[in-house]
Structure 1
Amino acid sequence: MTSEDLETLAVADSGTRLAITLNRPAERNALTFGAWDDLDRVMSEVELRDDLRVVTLTGSGPAFCAGVDFGAIGAALEVERGSFPSFIRRWANIVDRFERVPQPSVAAINGPAIGAGLELALACDIRIASDRAIFAMPQLRMGIVPDVGGTSRLARATGEAFAKDVILTSRIVDAEEALRAGIVSRVVPHERLAAELEGVAAAIEDLPWPSAYFAGLAIDVGPRLDSRRAADIEAMADQVMLRQEEVWTRISRFMEGKGLRGI
């Protein structure tokens, strides 16, 4: 799939890395039905690709994503009031794909990540931010609840008290507070964000497959298990990885002092 096939995204496919850019800069990359459809198409293909090693997500222009484009959605929506909004479940499934695909996903948050934009970022495995980024979930000010996984993912990232603080007050969190709270793992000067994303993605891209998938799986499910079962997942993953010649080559190089500089 190329960018020409998509109305709201720019996509670059190197064969091992898929770089997705939300591409409605004039609308601060707000999500329309078309944008959700484009994300669905792209991530459906990612699920079927064994060659891809990493997926990246960022926004064009000054914003990462301003959330749902309620003007466009309201104009297009034909759902009886009071009926269950099944389209929201579909959107949630699309967001889930960023968390569910075997390839690690990396969000480079280049500016405001608001509402569903923050919910989308939270579904990515690694989140790095520009120092210009801000974060908010203002949905309750409109009388609606974050509805594509944001309540649970924010609570897992930051703890329940912080998540309730942000969601119930609709307050804005700057990049440094987001780093302290666990919304993101790195904050860099804005002009360095692209280079930081390149470094993170390249490091993951270089890993022997599917070690990154196994590690992510162990991290995701391990805290929910007792320590013995969590260790069993790690052991089963390494039983697979230690069958690969490339892994033994890397082990030899590591033991020769070529693995990590400075140790």
Structure 2
Amino acid sequence: MASPEQDLAPALDKDGVRLTVDDALATVTLTNPAKRNAQSPALWRALAEAGRSLPGSVRVVVLRGEGKSFSAGLDRQMFTPEGIPGEPTFIDLARRDDAGIDATIAEYQEAFTWWRRTDIVSIAAVQGHAIGAGFQLALGCDLRVVADDVQFAMRETSLGLVPDLTGTHPLVGLVGYARALEICVTGRFVGAEEAVSSGLASLAVPAGELDGAVRDLAAAVMAAPRDAVVETKALLRGALDRTYEEQRAAERAAQARRLRDLAGLGE
């Protein structure tokens, strides 16, 4: 795929992650296609840093991967006894107490959480393999547009582990408990057609049209007034945690803020 941000100076470019900003649009690119954008703790720290580095002007963040695969999951070196130099191995983690394991995984999860902030809309452009941590990274975004060759899979359970990089909550929300369970415990592939029909993806397009389709979606999001988008996202994100009456009240409060703002009476 051609790089839509190739003419922009990167605001961050390290450990397999590049962040570029073009006014209201930011693009985060996974930049290690030779390893199918395999993930490591260093990459997760860089992704978290990208989130902290976003200027206030950014309204939409596009997440993409260079090469044929979005991300094939964890760097296989993490599964070896030696692990990745300078990083804790799985055995090291297992030897820590509960608080130590919890703190380490919580740090890893930071790379997967900021995409759902209410002040931005995040869009994952997913082609080829999105496996394990790659699947969960795509699930971290608000929206997913996929190429017709996409192959999602959650392989953690097959390895004796669980998906722990924040993917379980959005997966259940998108496809329901039963299908989410079946996808996770079987580790099977989910292709483009099923991704769209099940709600995992908004749109599937030929691989060569993926960048263009994502740019069109980003432009459509940015066409609406920013504050209205922020309020709407917050309403929808909180809807499942509220009762029907609580959601009605939240809608009224949000609309009051919008009306006052449009009338020039906001705080």
**Structure 1 counterpart of 2:95:** 82
Displacement after TM superposition at 1:181 (Å): 1.5
Alpha carbons 2:130, 2:150 under 8 Å: kept: yes
What SS class does the counterpart of residue 19 from structure 1 fall into?
Answer: strand
What SS class does the counterpart of residue 242 from structure 1 fall into?
Answer: helix
Q: Distance in 1 between matches of 2:263 and 2:17?
A: 36
What SS class does the counterpart of residue 61 from structure 1 fall into?
Answer: coil
Which of 233, 245, 255 is the equivalent residue of 2:250? 233
Q: Distance in 2 between matches of 1:20 and 1:102?
A: 17
Q: Distance in 2 between matches of 1:169 and 1:2?
A: 39
Amino acid at match of 2:130: A
Q: Distance in 2 between matches of 1:183 and 1:2?
A: 30
**TM-score, length-normalised on structure 2?**
0.85
How many residues in Structure 1 have an aligned counterpart in Structure 2? 245
Alpha carbons 2:13, 2:19 under 8 Å: kept: no
The residue correspondences of 1:56-75 to structure 2 (distance < 5 A) are 56-72=62-78, 74-75=83-84
Structure 1 stretch displaced more, 165-174 or 8-17: 8-17
Alpha carbons 1:3, 1:9 under 8 Å: kept: no
**Structure 2 residues without counterparts, runs of 5 or longer:** 1-8
2:141 aligned with 1:124: yes
What SS class does the counterpart of residue 46 from structure 2 fall into?
Answer: helix
Displacement after TM superposition at 1:209 (Å): 1.8
Alpha carbons 1:3, 1:11 under 8 Å: kept: yes
Alpha carbons 2:116, 2:122 under 8 Å: kept: yes
Go from structure 1 to structure 2 and tell me whether the alpha carbon gap of 1:50 and 1:172 turns closer, same or farther (over 3 Å shift): same
**Structure 2 counterpart of 1:102:** 119
Q: Distance in 2 between matches of 1:72 and 1:128?
A: 29
**Structure 2 counterpart of 1:153:** 170
The residue correspondences of 1:205-220 to structure 2 (distance < 5 A) are 205-220=222-237
2:50 aligned with 1:42: yes
Q: Distance in 2 between matches of 1:115 and 1:4?
A: 25
**Structure 1 residues without counterparts, runs of 5 or longer:** 248-263
**Structure 1 counterpart of 2:6:** none
What SS class does the counterpart of residue 127 from structure 1 fall into?
Answer: strand
Displacement after TM superposition at 1:226 (Å): 2.1
Identity %: 29
**TM-score, length-normalised on structure 1?**
0.86
Go from structure 1 to structure 2 and tell me whether the alpha carbon gap of 1:80 and 1:237 turns closer, same or farther (over 3 Å shift): closer
Q: Distance in 1 between matches of 2:237 and 2:114?
A: 14
Displacement after TM superposition at 1:225 (Å): 1.7
2:210 aligned with 1:178: no
Alpha carbons 1:136, 1:173 under 8 Å: kept: yes
**Structure 2 counterpart of 1:137:** 154
Could you say what the CA RMSD is over the residues aligned between the two structures, in angstroms? 2.0
Go from structure 1 to structure 2 and tell me whether the alpha carbon gap of 1:246 and 1:135 turns closer, same or farther (over 3 Å shift): farther
Per-residue CA distance 1:88-144 (angstroms, 9 max, x = gap): 211212211111352011111122111011111111111111101010001112111
Which of 26, 47, 51 is the equivalent residue of 2:57? 51
